[in-house]
Structure 1
Amino acid sequence: MEWKLADKGVILITGMKKNMKSKVMKFWDRLILRKRFIIETVFNQPKNISKIEHSRHRSYINFIVNLLKGFIAYSFQLNKLSIKMTWLDKQALMQI
């Protein structure tokens, strides 16, 4: 299954478990994997707190209005989450 996705240009970045064969991972992939929990938390904020839902909309206009409503509500929040990056993380990001 993984090779089918790789043929399409999709690369899965997952952590290694005890029973898995070890693979060589790119430096950037390891950095992102370490920040995964924080990234998911940041993405979860507007989705749950600002009521951006993944539901079936009857038109594209309803979808866009719901998305904009959530972004506007999130922009008025006082405490927004952010990802703290080290100097090394920023340098790796600039190389890509």
Structure 2
Amino acid sequence: MDNLTELYCHIDDFYQQFKPEFDAHLIATGRQRLRACQISVAEIMTILVLFHQLRYRQFKAFYYHHMLGMMKRELPNLPSYSRFIKLVPRSIIPLCSYLQSMMGDCTGISYIDSTKIAVCHNKRIYRH
């Protein structure tokens, strides 16, 4: 999925089906506040998937450079980096379910990378 809008629509469609089933399994104590935020869970999931698709190494650099810099027009209600990090746990279970649903079936053919990795100490040779 190359297009951000296409990716968001796909994730949002999944989340709209997932949310009622997920909410039915939650235990309601009446003590927890479900505070709304400016960014939806589907948008959080989209940002996390996009981070991996663009192959950034550091999430902080991705968020500041790509999301707050280039994508500010597409997502105008982005919170600050520290606030976004606090919102990520809300999306972990839906994100894992989405990724599980997107996995393909195993065909029985597996590829193994046998590239040697340099180690700094001989004790670590067999750990890689």
When normalised by structure 2's length, the TM-score is 0.25
Larger gyration radius, structure 1 or structure 2: 2
Q: How high is the TM-score relative to the length of structure 1?
A: 0.30
